[in-house]
Structure 1
Amino acid sequence: MGVVVTGMGLIGPNITSIKDFSNILKDKKTILNREEFKGEHIFTGRVKGDEMSYPYLNAHKLPKSAQMLLHATDRAIEMAQIQPRDYATAIIVGSSGGVITEVFNHSIKLHKGKRMSPYAIGNMNGHTLANCLSTFLQIEGPTFSLANSCTSSLDAIHMAKILLQANEVDVCIVGGVDSTINDLVLSGFLPLKIMQTGETFMGPFSTGEGFAMSEGAGVLVLESEEVAVKREKEIIGYLTESSMFQSAYSSYIADPEGRAMVKAVERTIKKGMPTYINSQALGSQLNDDIEAMVYGEFFVDKGVPITSIKGNVGHAMGASGMFQVMAGLISIQDQFIPPTVRVDVGKYEQLPVVDEVMHCPVEQVLVTSQGYGGNNHAALFSKVRMT
């Protein structure tokens, strides 16, 4: 039996629901803002405090990233119509920055001589992101926290697939979350010149000037097909295949030849050719070049369309893969390919980059992601179970 998606929920900049996200994709909206930082104009996507809501008492004491995760989890469970504690359930959360903003803020308070909160140690513990779900949902099963850079949420999905296929659990609550827009992280990225600066934001597959950092959380309810069928629950999509490879090239620079991504994609598409590819395509030169090279090897001669949502919602670091997956699942449900926003279609002339909404049958979506430090991931989601 397969691994299926029965629920999804998310929160992002000006996004509090799947419906919001779907509208943004269809309407070609960019929800990023320009702001000044250290004399530069950068582009960010921030989640406002009043956009988060959840029915859990005292959750407001948790870090922002945990609160976003609770918001997304509540929506995903509601869609799945499930009580996770009634099943053998695992919780897996992927995050690139974890609670780094919480650590930074407490460090500033300490430097200023302010008293540390009794909640500080717990809130500076990266595993708080996963165990807060265990606590509020009263789930006593396995709980995992992954910190695999920008592939973290896709890697969490991969781990869920392993647990479900091994019959270790019946259900997995799988999350991706990041809230890294702070002075420490921004100051570290600026010298790398991979964040876009200037007056006008350009999207993926364009000028190669860099990405826009955003934040948010996405959660999927994954379960074995057998459990979903017994529950008579509508299946949103199937996780047909996923594959992850480490480039082993450098802790600081991506392998320009993209060999690990080639391996991940090659292994994943053995289960079938995608209707289209939802590419990571940040907008930075090296990242986009690698993605273009991989697609040129496998898909261009077959006319498989390519899109990226980074012009819509920016790059939410470890949560970004989850946003891509949900965009793919929405497109499978509503039968359309979302366009790439703010793209320069002449930059990569050899690629069939989608720049307008395409209404067409969507059977399978390939999602790709690269992580700082060498992680590469490809995942294939399908409308029906593939044998």
Structure 2
Amino acid sequence: MKKVVVTGLGTINSIGKTKEEFKENLKKMTIGIDYITQFDTTDHKVKIAAEVKDFDPTQYMDKKTAKRYDRFLQFAIAATKDALEDSKLDNGEWKENAAVIVASGIGGFKTLYSEFQKMQEKGPKSVSPFLIPMMISDMASGVVSIEFGLKGPNFNTVSACASSLHAIAMGSMLIRHGYVDVAIVGGAEATIDPMPIAAFANMRALSTRNDDPKGASRPFDKERDGFVMGEGAGVLVLESEEHAKKRNANIYGYIEGFGMTGDAYHISAPDEEGKGAAKAIKIALKDANISPEKIELANCHATSTPAGDVAETRALRSALGEHIKKIYIQGSKTLFGHGLGAAAAIEFVGMILQMKEGFIHGMPNLDNIDEELIDLNIPKKTVEYKAEYAIKNSFGFGGHNVSVIYRSI
């Protein structure tokens, strides 16, 4: 099988519109959570989110195109443009069979909600003919393919908050088995809107720490009370090692292994013991052909929910054994919220940047660590450390579990 390398990174999120800005704000532990400005929250329980402020889509596409694309599609194009520029791929023949798997868990909810309101107020004739292509979640891959002329396998992975890590795993699989030499993978999401905020709030999934936005997302802390909604996109350019070396590409590192499982437990709650997640981690380690002792960093799913954080650390204990006490553990959602289907890709980009630059961002809101996690190494402040091997976990409603092993060079 072919080896899979990462040659390009792109992201847009609440603490970075470029990978350089993102890297610096990760190191400084900048928190991009504040009061919602995209709609009136007067009647809402939750009034905070991690918005991408001052985003101008016309920096990445013409005005006419931007008008026809939902915000999540605009994010997808923006992150892909930066990732492709970072990879320094030219306009050559590679495009004829380049895979595109840019995931979204929810898709164009903003467009759906606004068009529904129009229909209620003005009748069915007022509904935009662009509603469907602006809304369906597979269109992130579709518009990336169209905008950049990428003609290989093109599809979407939809597995709630695990969507974009599934995309990374599937792109790696296509390259490994020789179907393609290049895969554009990641995720995009834009759901800071009245209905999703109300729905997640009513199921008690969101933090209601409205009086302290910066302190609301606090993975692993005793006082965590739910996640904070984020938005944005993360995109990676994957290539076969052979293809990348042939063109003298800059290689960040290798996708060494991945594991994917299902909990078969509950539609939204994790298995309390993290059995499915542990199995995914073990499969990823076996696939990478490494022992648990090789892992130095775990970038966790860590949503800041009472049940989720503990279940994940139980899964890590099961898979890594006593070695878990020797690794660094972090949850990046403390800085830029939970981007749902885009979360894992944004976090993966952040993890790669940290490993390349030799630091591990801290957890600024970790004031009182959960008693069950007291023996774990979860830094409150950024530390200098150049990890070689890391594991990225992502889990989604429906019991979806994905773990990916990454090796930096």
The TM-score range, normalised by the shorter chain, is over 0.9
Shift of 1:299: 4.2
Query: How many pairs align?
Result: 384
- Answering whether residue 396 of structure 2 is matched by residue 366 of structure 1, we say no
SS at match of 2:122: coil
Matches within 5 A, 1:1-387: 1-35=2-36, 36=41, 38-48=43-53, 50-52=55-57, 53-55=59-61, 58-60=64-66, 61-83=68-90, 86-87=93-94, 88-113=97-122, 115-198=126-209, 199-200=211-212, 201-202=215-216, 203-206=218-221, 207-270=223-286, 271-272=289-290, 273-299=294-320, 301-302=322-323, 303-347=326-370, 348-384=373-409
CA distance in 1, matches of 2:92, 2:368: 48
Q: 2:299–2:391: 8 Å Cα contact kept in structure 1?
A: yes
CA distance in 2, matches of 1:46, 1:243: 31
CA distance in 2, matches of 1:29, 1:358: 15
CA distance in 2, matches of 1:195, 1:326: 24
Report Cα offsets for 1:22-43 as digits up to 9, x if no partner: 1111101111013445343432
CA distance in 2, matches of 1:146, 1:77: 21
Kindly tell me: are residues 85 and 318 of structure 1, through their superposed partners in 2, closer, same or farther at Cα, counting changes over 3 Å?
farther
Q: 1:13–1:31: 8 Å Cα contact kept in structure 2?
A: yes
Report Cα offsets for 1:196-229 as digits up to 9, x if no partner: 0022234111123001001001111001000000
CA distance in 2, matches of 1:22, 1:51: 21
Report Cα offsets for 1:365-386 as digits up to 9, x if no partner: 11111101110111111024xx
Unaligned runs of 5+ in 1: none
* Matched residue type, 1:33: D
CA distance in 2, matches of 1:324, 1:132: 23
CA distance in 2, matches of 1:259, 1:216: 30
Q: 2:184–2:237: 8 Å Cα contact kept in structure 1?
A: yes
Give the TM-score taking structure 1 as reference length.
0.94
SS at match of 2:156: strand
* Matched residue type, 1:328: M
SS at match of 1:4: strand
Report Cα offsets for 1:148-193 as digits up to 9, x if no partner: 1000000001110111011111100112011111111112111221
CA distance in 1, matches of 2:132, 2:328: 47
SS at match of 1:213: coil
SS at match of 1:331: helix
CA RMSD for the aligned pairs? Answer: 1.7
Shift of 1:84: 6.1
* Matched residue type, 2:303: L
Kindly tell me: are residues 51 and 300 of structure 1, through their superposed partners in 2, closer, same or farther at Cα, counting changes over 3 Å?
farther
SS at match of 2:136: coil
CA distance in 2, matches of 1:381, 1:14: 23
SS at match of 1:50: coil
Unaligned runs of 5+ in 2: none
Identical pairs, percent: 27
SS at match of 1:145: coil
Kindly tell me: are residues 39 and 219 of structure 1, through their superposed partners in 2, closer, same or farther at Cα, counting changes over 3 Å?
closer
* Matched residue type, 1:176: G
Report Cα offsets for 1:113-164 as digits up to 9, x if no partner: 1622332232123322111111111222211012110000000011101110
Report Cα offsets for 1:6-64 as digits up to 9, x if no partner: 00101012421001111111101111013445343432011235344214563212111
Q: 1:300–1:351: 8 Å Cα contact kept in structure 2?
A: no
Q: 1:72–1:219: 8 Å Cα contact kept in structure 2?
A: yes
Give the TM-score taking structure 2 as reference length.
0.90
CA distance in 2, matches of 1:84, 1:345: 52
